[in-house]
Amino acid sequence: MSVFGRVREDLATARRRDPAARSNAEVFWLYSGLHAVWAYRVANRLWRWRWFFVARWVSQLARFLTGVEIHPGATIGRRFFIDHGMGVVIGETAELGDDVMLYHGVTLGGRSSERAKRHPTLGDHVTVGAGAAVLGPVTLGDGCVVGAHAVVLKDAPARSLLVGSPAKPRPIAPVHEFDQQFFVDPGSYSI
């Protein structure tokens, strides 16, 4: 997909997910969560070319401008959306599937300083609420929903709701088929 195609997809994702978004122009110019994702894509390309210093420089510039720190070595799928931006941290070995959504203040961090896989893996259609922390090399299956300010330290199967600290996964009833075009609205689950 071309760069313009990806940008169009990102704008559509933001407008679908944020009821406050009124126009593509508004999203393009004013959504710092999207600006951070675009900067990450540049930084990640540089990282894969092994231009590590420049990649980190781009990432830190984006952090300065948006308040979102995404390590250029992280792996992130399509239609990734960060609502509100500010205070999000995504570590080097984090892996995110498609259609993942994070609110402000989310940490996808490590619990050790080993040079190994030490950050979380999130499946497709995972939503993480404001201020939540998912720590260590844990895996959250497709469609998991992490509540605001939860602290997740253990793996969770697909379609789990995780609230509290430490969060224990509870199954959630599916209301949507997984579909590339739709995201799982955390408010549309019954527990």
Stretch that binds ligand COA, among 2-10, 43-51, 110-118, 183-191 (CB under 6 A): 183-191
Contact between 1 and ligand COA by CB under 6 A: the answer reads no
Contact between 144 and ligand COA by CB under 6 A: the answer reads no
**DSSP string across 136-152:** SS-EE-TT-EE-TT-EE
Contact between 145 and ligand COA by CB under 6 A: the answer reads yes
| C-beta closer to ligand COA: residue 94 or 162 | 162
Contact between 189 and ligand COA by CB under 6 A: the answer reads yes
Task: Tell me if residue 84 is catalytic.
Answer: no
Q: How many CB atoms neighbour CB 100 within 10 A?
A: 24
Q: Please identify which of the residues 35, 71, 104, 125 carries the catalytic annotation.
A: 104
Contact between 163 and ligand COA by CB under 6 A: the answer reads yes
- Out of 5, 53, 113, 187, which residue is the one contacting ligand COA (CB under 6 A)? 187
Least distance CB 152 / ligand COA (angstroms)? 12
Q: Report which of 74, 187, 82, 59 is spatially closest to residue 121, judged by C-alpha positions.
A: 74
Contact between 129 and ligand COA by CB under 6 A: the answer reads yes
Going by DSSP bridges, is the β-strand pair 89-90/139-140 parallel, antiparallel, or unpaired? unpaired
User: Using CA atoms, how far apart are residues 164 and 157, in angstroms rounded to an integer?
Assistant: 17
Contact between 191 and ligand COA by CB under 6 A: the answer reads yes
Strand-pair partners of 135? 109
- Alpha-carbon distances, residue 101 vs 48, 117, 128, 184, 185 (angstroms): 24, 22, 6, 10, 10
